[in-house]
Amino acid sequence: MRTEVFAVDGVEPEKDVISRAAGVIRRGGLVAFPTETVYGLGADALSPKAVRRIFEAKGRPVDNPLIVHVGERDAADRLGQVDERSRRLMDLFWPGPLTLVIRAAREVPAEVTGGLATVAVRMPAHPVAIALIKGSGIPIAAPSANRSGRPSPTTAEAVLEDLGGRVEIILDAGPTVVGVESTVLDVTGDLPVLLRPGGVSLEELTRAVGPVLPSPGGIHDAGSPGTRYRHYAPSIPVVLRGPGEEWAKDPRLCRSGVRIAYVGMSPSPVVALIEIRFGTVEGYATGLFSALRELERSGADVILAELPAEEGVGLAVRDRLRRAAGDRDRNS
């Protein structure tokens, strides 16, 4: 398959490009498109056949459910049960990087829910995503547009690198703004449960709805099936270091002649082949996945990554770094 890449305006997307991409979605094809978080790999959420193509293109385990993207709040009512608290969260955070896990309506295919009784829904805050969803007239199921296990794509180039030849169209509106994926919140129980930290912070959620529970056993738990799998992993090992934490004892960094690539906010504690630094934790979130892809290409043997503090989007950056390092057991 030939993949066509179309440049599209991120504020006022060109109508002819959107209608072409929307036609692909309606015919059961795959379109990669920008959201404010990362690039998504979209297909008709109500067509089992179209959704199966997402799993094939990504090499994604079939029991890992997808987020359904809607173009307006009311569209969520047709996908599942929206109670008063969910409505409030939608009013406060939609469009935006908050995914709500609600009880699923019967017409949502099992391919989307991974066979669960719940469905994850979100309204993205990106004009191209909204135009595509509205233009196709159907909700769009879309995981991140990377090969399963790889760092999520925040540019069209990263999508092409992973999925070139596997999707019909990539819509290129430049780098995404938030950089980490949406926060996933399960709102089916008495208290909301944080299944994945992301673009909306835990502090913001707590201010809006009161106490939020961590996923049982921590945020790496099976409550959100996707979090079970190795994720965000570059092709070279990633070693983590907390601010001010000892690094020198890690055998992967001490081998003679080892070439280290560094990413973090404070200066590298070692002589690095390449060093990427961010001034703010928001900047770290925005640039994290691109940085991991750049560092793996640098010729280094290992990536040394600094964990930011837990506040705000720092919680999500820590989560992604831990997974990139293959560490699924430590909480937060």
Which parts of this chain interact with Mg ion (CB under 5 A)? 144
- Looking at 77-153, which runs of residues are DSSP E strands? 98-103, 118-122, 140-141
290 binds, among Mg ion, ligand AMP, none (CB under 5 to 8 A by kind): none
- Is the Cβ of residue 47 or residue 144 nearer to Mg ion in the bound state? 144
Binding site for ligand AMP (CB under 6 A): 64-65, 67, 101, 113, 116, 118-120, 143-144, 181, 184, 195-196, 224-227
136 binds, among Mg ion, ligand AMP, none (CB under 5 to 8 A by kind): none
108 binds, among Mg ion, ligand AMP, none (CB under 5 to 8 A by kind): none
67 binds, among Mg ion, ligand AMP, none (CB under 5 to 8 A by kind): ligand AMP
- Is the Cβ of residue 197 or residue 264 nearer to ligand AMP in the bound state? 197
Query: How many other C-beta atoms can be found within 10 angstroms of the C-beta atom of residue 233?
Result: 17
- Is the Cβ of residue 112 or residue 304 nearer to Mg ion in the bound state? 112
- Is the Cβ of residue 41 or residue 265 nearer to ligand AMP in the bound state? 41
- Is the Cβ of residue 119 or residue 292 nearer to ligand AMP in the bound state? 119
CB of 96 to ligand AMP, least distance (A): 15
Burial of residue 211, with CB atoms counted within 10 A of its CB: 0-12 exposed, 13-18 middle, 19 or more buried: exposed
Question: Which tokens belong to 256?
Answer: 């003679």
CB of 116 to ligand AMP, least distance (A): 5
Between CA 180 and CA 317 the distance in angstroms is: 7
Q: What is the 3-state secondary structure (H, E, C) of 147-165?
A: CCCCCCCCCHHHHHHHHCC
CB of 3 to ligand AMP, least distance (A): 20
Burial 11-42 (b: 16+ CB within 10 A, else e): eebeeebbebbbebbeeebbbbbbbbbbbbbb
Question: Which tokens belong to 58?
Answer: 């990504």
- Is the Cβ of residue 150 or residue 241 nearer to Mg ion in the bound state? 150
CB of 84 to ligand AMP, least distance (A): 20
Q: Tell me the β-bridge partners of 46.
A: none
CB of 231 to Mg ion, least distance (A): 7
CB of 32 to ligand AMP, least distance (A): 13
Of 308, 244, 307, 94, nearest to 182 by C-alpha is: 94
195 binds, among ligand AMP, Mg ion, none (CB under 5 to 8 A by kind): ligand AMP
Question: Which tokens belong to 223?
Answer: 């409550």
User: In the Cβ-directed half-sphere of 156, how many Cα atoms lie within 13 Å?
Assistant: 18
